[in-house]
Every structure is written in structure tokens, then in C-alpha cells.
Amino acid sequence: MKGHVAAPVRQVWIRANGTVPDDIRVHQYLLGYASDLNFLPVALQPHGIGFLEKGIQIATIDHSMWFHRPFNFNEWLLYSVESTSASSARGFVRGEFYTQDGALVASTVQEGVMRNHN
């Protein structure tokens, strides 16, 4: 994606593509996987850089996730992400997953390397 200058925040609604079995562990596995999609690029937004631009390299250093209560990934969840720091080729982002009625079900944090080889 080509970059544009924007605040370091993003909110997206997500749910499973298909029916997830009635096993909370499967829901948690899938949400963990989904939590990494477009997470670090939020830290690039204030700099007007898109993560798919030529010469841009991003890589996760660490990624943690906490599950606060059961949820159903067959239903829509709001993923609210913000970056509180992006400097010296590193970005820090955190996110929260909410049910449609506003219950916090999971939290995420990630630090990554972001380099421009142009």
C-alpha cells in the first residue's frame, strides 16, 4: 500500500472467513494470527510511508497477546490499534479487540524493525 500521512491509529472490523468450530482455543489461535495483520504499518502512517512501498522492510521483534474473556470469532470484532512510538527504525503498536457490545476480549502489543532501503 502506498503511504499517506495519517494519525497512528486504525480501527477495523474483523471476523473469521468461514465457520470456526466451537472450541475457544481455535478462536484464540485465529485471533492471534489475525492480530499481526497490518499491525506494525500503523506506526508508519505519521511518516507517510506505506509498508508495500519499494525498499520498505518491516519485521516483528516481539508480539504479545492477552485474552481477557471468551469470544466468538464467527462474530464481528473491532480491532482498535494505535502506535505510541516510531523512531530510530523501530515501531511500537498496541491493540485491543472488542465485541460488538463493547466488551474487551483481547489486547496486543508489538515492537518491530522498520527500515527504508531507498
Q: Is residue 33 part of a domain?
A: yes
| 110 grid coordinates | 508489538
Cell numbers 502506535 label which residue?
Answer: 83
Q: What's the rounded mean pLDDT across residues 7-32?
A: 94
**Domain, as residue range, for 52:** 9-116
Record the pTM: 0.87
What's 38's domain CATH number? 3.10.129.10
Q: Is residue 78 part of a domain?
A: yes
- Say which DSSP state 39 is in: S
Which residue type does 78 have?
Answer: L
Q: Is residue 53 part of a domain?
A: yes
Q: Domain count of the chain?
A: 1
Q: Is residue 37 part of a domain?
A: yes
Q: Is 28 designated active site?
A: no
Q: pLDDT tens digits, residue range 60-92? A: 899 999 999 999 999 999 999 999 888 888 889
Alpha-carbon gap, residue 111 to 92, rounded angstroms: 4
Q: Which of 60, 62, 100, 108 is catalytic?
A: 60
Query: Quick one: which of 59, 103, 96, 65 has its CA closest to 81?
Result: 96
Q: What's the rounded mean pLDDT across residues 94-113?
A: 96
Q: Is 19 designated active site?
A: no
Q: Is 60 designated active site?
A: yes
Q: Is residue 94 part of a domain?
A: yes
Q: Is residue 28 part of a domain?
A: yes
Q: Which of 22, 23, 101, 110 is catalytic?
A: 110
Q: Is residue 1 part of a domain?
A: no
Alpha-carbon gap, residue 105 to 80, rounded angstroms: 12
